[in-house]
Amino acid sequence: MLESPHGRTGVIPVTEALLFDFDGLILDTESPDFQVWKEVYADYGHELTVGLWAQNVGGSWLSRYNPYDHLEELLGCSIDRNAVKAGYKARAREIILEQPILPGVQDYIKEAKEMGIKVGVASSSDHAWVDGNLERLGLLHEFEVVVCAEDVENIKPHPELFLTAAARLNASPARTIVLEDSPNGARAAHDAGTFCVVVPNPLTAQLPFDHGHLHLNALSDVPLAQVVALAAER
């Protein structure tokens, strides 16, 4: 028995799974990524706006906006893509390695396990990136499933990643809570039929969100038990 946020007491339907996004939710890779590309644009005398970059957040820029193509369009000539890519990756890695696990992530994992809720990751990035960083952070073993771009035909904002992760955990989407930081991810969670908690990072906090049942500044603001109670009342 749990007391609901509205004061009523009753049986709370079981939350079966808790799904984490990775980039920007477990680790803030989104802000460094934008920062470095902004520096690349500045080196060529141009400005990269948040609005343009936002097309890629939580999804794949290969299918939307390609910064290499865009730079060449602005310049009217080709650039040394290999050199730009090497410089970008080195600088981004340098910044990302300094980033801590975001507040509340480890507490939510611990609370979920104490409550008998299965935990997983659903990310539009590839396994090499997600698994590698989770292992480096000491978190890989905490998740029962990690579903990435290679595992599905459609990444976010399509709901397939979340539906696949829930299925692998033998969880109903309606009894699954998704933690997301991006509009693309929130839309995917909504379309999957899950309860979506939006936790923007410094970059995505500047973007409009059309979906999300609960918006938090950080996971550390609200204990998981309270989120589970809210999910039961939607």
**Confidence (pLDDT) at 139:** 99
Residues 186 and 198: beta-carbon distance below 8 Å: yes
Indicate if 28 belongs to the active site.
no
Angle between helix axes 81-96 and 30-43 (nearest 10 degrees) is 140
Name the packing angle between helices 67-75 and 81-96 (round to 10°).
130
In this structure, the number of other CB atoms found within 10 A of the CB of residue 72 comes to 15
- Nearest alpha carbon to residue 201 among 20, 29, 56: 29
Kindly provide the residue ranges of all beta strands, DSSP E only, lying in the chain, ordered along the sequence.
2-3, 9-10, 17-20, 118-122, 145-147, 176-180, 195-198, 214-215
Structure pTM?
0.86
Under 8 Å between Cβ of 34 and 53 = yes
3-state percent helix, strand, coil for the chain, nearest multiple of 5: 50, 15, 40
Q: Which of 21, 28, 33, 181 is catalytic?
A: 21
Question: Is 137 within 8 Å of 121 (Cβ atoms)?
Answer: no
Which position among 23, 28, 33, 181 bears the catalytic label? Answer: 23
DSSP string, 75-137: HTS---HHHHHHHHHHHHHHHHTTPPBPTTHHHHHHHHHHTT-EEEEE-SS-HHHHHHHHHHT
> 195-198 and 176-180: which strand pairing?
parallel
Instruction: Name the residue among 219, 207, 224, 229 with its Cα closest to residue 51.
Output: 207
Per-residue pLDDT of the chain (234 residues; tens, 9 = 90+): 233 333 333 444 589 999 999 999 999 998 898 999 999 999 999 999 988 887 666 654 445 678 999 999 999 999 999 999 999 999 999 999 999 999 999 999 999 999 999 999 999 999 999 999 999 999 999 999 999 999 999 999 999 999 999 999 999 999 999 999 999 999 999 999 999 999 998 888 888 899 999 999 999 999 999 999 999 998
Position 101 scores a pLDDT of: 98
Q: Catalytic: 80?
A: no
pLDDT of residue 4: 32
What mean pLDDT is reported for the chain? 91
